[in-house]
Amino acid sequence: MYKRMRDNRLIVGSSLDQTRQIRRTATGLLLAMAGVFVVAEINLDIHPFWGYLHAFAEAAMVGGLADWFAVTALFRHPLGVPIPHTAIIPRKKDRIADTMAQFLRANFLTPSVVARRMRRTNVAANAGEVLVNREGGERSRFMGGGAELAAEVLESLDPERLGLRVRAGLASQLSRIELAPLLGNLLENLIADGRHRPLLDGLIRWAGLTLEDNEDAVREIIRSRANSVLRWTGLDSRISSSVLDGVYRLLAEVLVDPDHPMRGKIDAALIKLATQLKTDPEMQAKVEAVKMDLLENPALADWWMGVWERMRRSLIARARDPNSGLGNDLREALRELGKALQDDPRLQRQINRFARRTAVGMTSRYGAQIVALVSDTVKRWDAGTVTDRIESAVGRDLQFIRINGTLVGGLVGVTLHAITQAF
């Protein structure tokens, strides 16, 4: 933004320098005509040529002085004399501001004009072309700037407050969702497609490994439940070994045999559970109670804040790391989006319709504020600023008017002198 402002100041300064140069040329031409007039006045009786030159210089001075007065009167008082109807632009800057604003409002910021213009513009296709055809250097700067902006936004926001807001939003959405029917449908679909079998195999393996790791504890539990006679005879150890061997054998058989009856019983139990989750109000109430307990649990909140902070720090680090895959992934995603915007007419219609409605809505809602902003901005400028800006825009052409007025006036004078000499 600051670079743009500096460039604008340089442009305005350059235009003013050019205007001053041409003003000096126009003034020099006027002074030259005055000199020619004096020389021709002295030599009128020597030769008729001096009469024509005298008429040219005289009319040129009149034309040049008249145009100088007119051009100067637009911006300031000629020779500093406060002649009425001079310094028009500084005195009328408020009216100029209002006129500019009303012109902008009437010709550009009306809903009908904006809608008509937006209908002729394919916003989606133009955006797609920018995303697809952007040069590598531009693309890198674009992506780098976007990544840096995202990182700064994440850093500027209060992490705790943002995390709490995100958690509150998620909790609010989850509290409105009836979880039991969703779980029932999910479980039912898993069973119907057989996608629960790998999960069941994993649970069986986990059960076997867990039992093996805690075998001593299981033996102690069996021994403590046995009566004193069994412990005295040593049968408690044999019983615990038989129980463990039986469990191991059952788990192994269920694991290797896809048609084992135990699998059928497990599937039947899962189907019953899915049905209860979908239809049983009591089961649904239990699931909702568990869900709400989890959402209100402080431990879950602390866990979420830790997860959120790690996610935030990871995103910031990846956004600022030029070697991370975040920029490449984002670049590829934008390129694919650009292709879709270029190739999909339906998507183009939807986006163009949205853009048109948005532009028309913003014009209708904020058009008056934009007009007021333009008017107030110009009114806040001092007279010198207004004069410099307008003069930088049209001053060069106005000085050419002075030059043309001098030359055209001279030609008219020569023509009139020739006519009078002919008759």
**Statement to judge: residues 46 and 152 lie in one domain:** no
Domain identity same for 17 and 42:
yes
DSSP state of 76: S
Among candidate residues 282, 317, 343, the one where a domain is terminated: 343
Please report whether residue 333 resides in a domain: yes
Work out whether the CA dihedral 78, 82, 84, 90 comes out positive or negative. positive
Between 29 and 304, the more confident residue is 29
Sort 343 into a burial class: Cβ within 10 Å, 0-12 / 13-18 / 19+: exposed
Q: Domain for residue 316, yes or no?
A: yes
**Domain stops at, among 268, 294, 320:** 294
Q: Are residues 10 and 82 in the same domain?
A: yes
> What does each C-alpha distance from 419 to 36, 86, 135, 145, 414 come to in angstroms?
21, 36, 67, 73, 9
Give CA–CA dist 417/409, Å, rounded: 12
The amino acid at residue 342 is Q
Query: Both 335 and 418 in a single domain?
Result: no
The answer to whether residues 279 and 332 belong to one domain is no
In a domain, 361, yes or no: no
pLDDT at 184 over 50: yes
138 and 187, same domain (yes or no): no
Tell me what pLDDT residue 7 has: 43
Task: Tell me the residue range of the domain where 258 lies.
Answer: 178-294
**Is residue 17, in this structure, part of any structural domain at all?**
yes
pLDDT at 231 over 70: no
Count up the domains in the chain and report the number.
3
pLDDT tens, position by position, 48-74:
888 889 899 999 999 888 888 888 888
Distance CA(193)–CA(355), nearest Å, equals: 44
Predicted TM-score of the model (pTM): 0.42
Residue 268, in any domain of the structure: yes
Query: In 3-state terms, what secondary structure has residue 108?
Result: coil
Domain match, 13 and 40 both: yes
Same domain, 144 and 128: yes
**Does residue 223 lie within any of the structural domains?**
yes
What is the pLDDT at residue 10? 41
pLDDT given at position 329? 63
Q: Is 120 exposed, middle or buried (0-12, 13-18, 19+ CB in 10 A)?
A: exposed
Residue 184 shares a structural domain with residue 140: no
**Using one digit for the tens of pLDDT, what is the confidence trace for 363-418?**
777 777 777 777 777 777 777 777 777 777 777 888 888 888 889 988 998 888 88
Q: Which tops the pLDDT comparison, 266 or 219?
A: 266
278's enclosing H/E stretch is: helix 261-279
In a domain, 365, yes or no: no
Is 362 a domain residue?
Answer: no
Structure tokens at 402: 């002075």
> Do 284 and 317 fall within a single domain?
no
**39 vs 375, which has greater pLDDT?**
39
Q: Would you give the DSSP letter of residue 80?
A: G
What tens digit of pLDDT does each residue of 243-276 get? 677 777 777 887 778 787 887 788 788 888 888 8
Percentage above 70 pLDDT, the chain: 76
- Print burial letters for 154-189: b (CB count within 10 Å at least 16), e (below 16): beeeeeeeebeeebeeebeeeeeeebbeebbeebbe
Q: Which of 294, 323, 358 is the last residue of a domain?
A: 294
* Shared-domain flag, residues 301 and 280: no
Give the rounded percent of residues in the chain with a pLDDT score beyond 90: 2
More confident residue, 206 or 2: 206
Both 284 and 303 in a single domain? no
Give pLDDT tens digits for 126-159: 877 777 765 444 445 555 555 666 666 666 655 6
